[in-house]
């Protein structure tokens, strides 16, 4: 199986759901509420929905009836999303949900027809430039607001500092930009790419930070994130392996003792047509 086809584990999505909810930029939702559709429900397409965390976070923040269409290519994650649906809406209205197994890099405008909002979370870095360009065009063609949350930017800060931080970070970012049969992934360049493409199409794009701040209360997530971060760095730079094994032990010991603070920067985008 090629690296980019690796599936996202439900356990990882569960672990990060609370930190994701705390990190997303709430002020963008205030702007979104003003775009409440008149004369009909919200029709919200969530792209790369995973186990459905975006809907569980956003549905109660939006007033009025909502119909969510959850897209993912992974049938097992869609089944989890269908079993743990969002809602009710902010004003108590029920929320309707359907799932669609689809490749969101191949959406045509017909697939998003009638949308009043398109969302995605933690998705953009997994795409190539060609794929994101197609996705941006499909979203812009729908003529509704687009909310893309929690896109990684490549900036990570750990406290206390360690001499290996910068080397691991650079190798991780290179791994995110790795070559795949579909082309090189955008990784931390995805936000700038998406903003540029939407603006070129004449849309207004509002950009806000949405960092994870993982302290002692999120030690479990910090430890899992760290293991994945170091593992991906070593995959890119096998010469790191020996130093990285020691680094990982040091960092996990600090995380376990509640002495490690990790900030992982993300960016949220609200696109207004």
Whether the Cβ atoms of residue 176 and residue 241 lie closer than 8 Å to each other: no
d(CA 70, CA 89): 16
Nearer to ligand SAM, 82 or 243 (CB): 82
25 is a site residue for ligand SAM (CB under 6 A): no
- 3-state secondary structure at position 257: coil
Question: In the set 62, 77, 156, 255, which binds ligand SAM (CB under 6 A)?
Answer: 77
Residues 78-137 that bind ligand SAM (CB under 6 A): 103-105, 121-123, 126
Shortest reach from residue 105's CB to ligand SAM, in Å: 5
Sign of CA dihedral 166, 241, 20, 191: positive
Interacting stretch for ligand SAM, rule CB under 6 A, among 50-58, 138-146, 207-215, 248-256? 50-58
Nearer to ligand SAM, 23 or 203 (CB): 23
* CA-CA-CA-CA dihedral for 124, 129, 133, 136, to nearest 10: 10
48 is a site residue for ligand SAM (CB under 6 A): yes
E strand spans, the chain: 42-47, 66-72, 95-101, 117-121, 146-159, 204-209, 212-214, 261-272
Shortest reach from residue 9's CB to ligand SAM, in Å: 10
- Eight-class DSSP state of 24: S
- Eight-class DSSP state of 185: B
Shortest reach from residue 266's CB to ligand SAM, in Å: 11
Question: In the set 35, 56, 73, 137, which binds ligand SAM (CB under 6 A)?
Answer: 73
Tokens of 49: 């929905």
Nearer to ligand SAM, 240 or 262 (CB): 262
194 is a site residue for ligand SAM (CB under 6 A): no
13 is a site residue for ligand SAM (CB under 6 A): yes
232 is a site residue for ligand SAM (CB under 6 A): no
- Kind of pairing between the strands at 146-159 and 117-121: parallel
Nearer to ligand SAM, 105 or 267 (CB): 105
Whether the Cβ atoms of residue 268 and residue 236 lie closer than 8 Å to each other: no
- How many Cα atoms are found within 13 Å in the side-chain-facing hemisphere of 159? 6
156 is a site residue for ligand SAM (CB under 6 A): no
Nearer to ligand SAM, 71 or 248 (CB): 71
Question: In the set 19, 28, 44, 53, which binds ligand SAM (CB under 6 A)?
Answer: 53
Numbers of helices and strands, H then E, in the chain: 9, 8
139 is a site residue for ligand SAM (CB under 6 A): no
Q: Which residues bind ligand SAM (CB under 6 A)?
A: 8, 13, 20, 48-50, 53-54, 72-74, 77, 103-105, 121-123, 126
């Amino acid at each position: 199986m090629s690296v980019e086809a690796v599936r996202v584990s439900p356990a990882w999505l569960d672990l990060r759901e609370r930190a994701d909810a705390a990190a997303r930029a709430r002020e963008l939702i205030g702007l979104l509420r003003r775009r409440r559709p008149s004369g009909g429900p919200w029709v919200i397409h969530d792209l790369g929905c995973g186990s459905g965390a975006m809907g569980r976070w956003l549905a109660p923040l939006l007033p009025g009836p909502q119909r969510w269409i959850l897209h993912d290519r992974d049938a097992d994650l869609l089944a989890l999303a269908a079993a743990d649906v969002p809602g009710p809406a902010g004003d108590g209205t029920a929320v309707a949900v359907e799932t669609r197994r689809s490749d969101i890099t191949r959406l045509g405008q017909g697939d998003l027809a009638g949308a009043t909002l398109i969302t995605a979370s933690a998705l953009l870095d997994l795409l190539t430039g060609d794929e994101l360009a197609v996705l941006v065009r499909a979203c812009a063609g729908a003529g509704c607001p687009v909310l893309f949350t929690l896109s990684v930017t490549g900036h990570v800060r750990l406290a206390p500092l360690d001499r290996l931080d910068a080397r691991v970070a650079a190798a991780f970012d290179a791994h995110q930009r790795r070559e795949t049969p579909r082309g090189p992934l955008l990784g931390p360049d995805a936000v700038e790419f998406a903003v540029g493409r939407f603006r070129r199409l004449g849309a207004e794009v509002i950009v806000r930070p949405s960092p994870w701040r993982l302290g002692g209360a999120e030690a479990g997530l910090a430890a899992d994130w760290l293991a994945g971060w170091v593992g991906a760095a070593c995959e890119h730079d096998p010469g790191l392996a020996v130093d990285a094994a020691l680094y990982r032990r040091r960092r996990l010991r600090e995380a376990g003792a509640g002495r490690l603070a990790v900030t992982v920067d993300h960016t949220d985008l609200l696109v207004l047509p």
